[in-house]
Amino acid sequence: MNIEHDASSGTQESGDARVMVRPNAGKGLSLELLGPSTARYGEEIRTVVLATLESLGVSDASVLIEEKGALDATIRARLSAACGRAADGGSMPWETMR
């Protein structure tokens, strides 16, 4: 899945996360995490994000996540939706998604 343009998903409500993705052609993955849980769970969130991007086949992207106590499943969902939007739709690779 190629990230063609900027896109976002999610909200800043409690228990949710706001995810923004941008093209980063040829430069690999760049990840920035903001939010109350990042000090304690930053590494776990980073692992979830990288695994999700891998399952989507995204290898070049700049990702910003503002989380508000979101569970892993919510982060995965918001990130997948943002990537889907940034890749201009089409069917998602559900079978490979975590």
Partner 1 sequence: MKLRRSMLYVPGNAPAMLRDAHIYSPDSVMFDLEDSVSPREKDAARHLVFQALKHYDYAGVERIVRINGLDTPYGLEDIAAVVCGGVDAVRLPKTDGPEDILAVEQAVAAAERRFGRPTGSVKLIAAIESARGILAVRDIAVASPRLIAIAIGAEDFVTDMHTSRSPDGVELLTARSMLVMAARAAGIMAIDTVFSSVDDEEGFQREVRLAKQLGFDGKSVIHPSQIAMVHAIYAPTTEEVAKARRVIAAAADAEAKGSGVIALDGKMIDKPIVERAMRVLALAGEVDA
What residues line the site for partner 1 (CB under 8 A)? Answer: 9-10, 13-16, 70-74, 76-78, 80-81, 84-85, 89, 91-92, 94-95, 97-98
Least distance in angstroms from the C-beta of 25 to partner 1 = 23
Rank residues 65 and 80 by Cβ distance to partner 1 and give the closer one: 80
Q: Which long-range contacts (CB under 8 A, 24 or more apart) does 31-38 make?
A: 31/63, 31/65, 32/63, 32/64, 32/65, 33/65, 33/67, 34/64, 34/65, 34/66, 34/67, 35/65, 35/66, 35/67, 35/68, 35/69, 36/67, 36/68, 36/69, 37/67, 37/69, 38/67
Least distance in angstroms from the C-beta of 64 to partner 1 = 17
